[in-house]
């Protein structure tokens, strides 16, 4: 069952493109037909949206922050006291965010990313939750040439950590509990 996120007042705030969820993305990687990762097509935008007019987009783990709190002004919206995450968070007007489980979502454009039409939605969607979580953590930690990163377990998040840390020119050590994934490491 898909939830309809229909409140047009304040659910995404100014600068909020509205787009349809691309169902094949969720169907391919979650197994049950829907998932919280979102890849979609812009259907409608408010007049003050600058970056998105039409096209293929992805949404990360955050849909809204106040923009005025000190952390918001330093690109650390995760610490905003009014933060609204993509899934199951309440907006100030009482409505909820339901992410990829919705028929559509409304997001502030600062949390939306352009996606190439040439990329399969099922392969792109997981980057907007797990991928962003791992990449932003590595970046915040200053990972780069001359740094060392230890990754415990190379399942979903760990797999991204190995790939991203290696791409950032860090020396990467994967720590596994069995030899089963040694080839992947």
Q: Assess contact for 84 and 91: CB atoms under 8 A.
A: yes
For the chain, the distance separating the N- and C-terminal CA atoms, rounded to the nearest angstrom, is 38
Beta strand 87-90 with 96-98 is antiparallel
CATH among 3.20.20.140, 3.40.30.10, 3.40.50.150, 3.40.50.720 for 132-179: 3.40.50.720
Separation between Cα atoms, residue 60 and residue 49, nearest integer Å: 18
Dihedral sign computed on CA atoms, order 82, 84, 88, 93 = positive
Residue with the two structure tokens 């955050």: 62
- Rounded alpha-carbon distances, angstroms, from residue 87 to 71, 99, 127, 172: 21, 5, 16, 32
Return d(Cα 152, Cα 178) in angstroms, integer. Answer: 12
- Encoding tokens for residue 74? 């330093």
Residue 145 has pLDDT above 90, yes or no: yes
User: What's the rounded Cα separation, in Å, for the pair 36 and 50?
Assistant: 26
State yes or no: pLDDT of 1 exceeds 80.
no
Q: Which residue has the tokens 């812009």?
A: 42
**51 — pLDDT class (breaks 50, 70, 90):** confident
For 94, which DSSP code? Answer: S
> What pLDDT sits at residue 139?
94
Q: Which pTM value belongs to this model?
A: 0.69
Highest mean pLDDT: which of 32-36, 48-52, 119-123, 173-177? 173-177
Q: In this structure, are strands 62-64 and 84-85 parallel, antiparallel, or unpaired?
A: antiparallel
Residue 126 DSSP symbol: G
Pairwise CA distance, residues 56 & 75, whole Å? 24
Q: Report residue 100 as tokens.
A: 């990829």
Ordered by start, the domain boundaries in the chain are 17-124, 132-179
CA-closest candidate to residue 167, choices 135, 123, 119, 125: 135
Mean pLDDT across the chain:
77
Report, as an integer, the average pLDDT of 111-120.
Answer: 85
Identify the band that residue 174 occupies on the pLDDT scale cut at 50, 70 and 90. Answer: very high
Query: Is the domain defined by 17-124 classed in CATH 3.30.1360.200?
Result: no
């Amino acid at each position: 069952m898909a939830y309809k996120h229909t409140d047009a007042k304040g659910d995404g705030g100014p600068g909020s493109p509205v787009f349809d969820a691309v169902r094949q993305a969720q169907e391919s990687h979650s197994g049950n037909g829907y998932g919280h990762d979102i890849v979609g097509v812009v259907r409608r935008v408010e007049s003050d949206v600058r970056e998105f007019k039409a096209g293929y987009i992805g949404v990360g783990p955050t849909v809204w922050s106040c923009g005025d709190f000190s952390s918001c002004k330093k690109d650390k919206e995760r610490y905003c006291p009014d933060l609204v995450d993509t899934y199951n968070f309440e907006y100030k007007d009482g409505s909820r965010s339901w992410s990829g489980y919705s028929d559509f979502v409304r997001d502030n454009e600062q949390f939306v990313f352009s996606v190439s039409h040439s990329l399969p939605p099922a392969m792109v969607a997981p980057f907007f939750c797990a991928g962003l979580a791992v990449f932003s953590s590595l970046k915040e930690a200053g990972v780069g040439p001359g740094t060392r990163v230890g990754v415990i377990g190379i399942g979903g998040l760990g797999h991204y950590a190995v790939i991203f840390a290696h791409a950032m020119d860090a020396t990467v050590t994967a720590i596994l509990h069995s030899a089963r994934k040694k080839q992947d490491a």
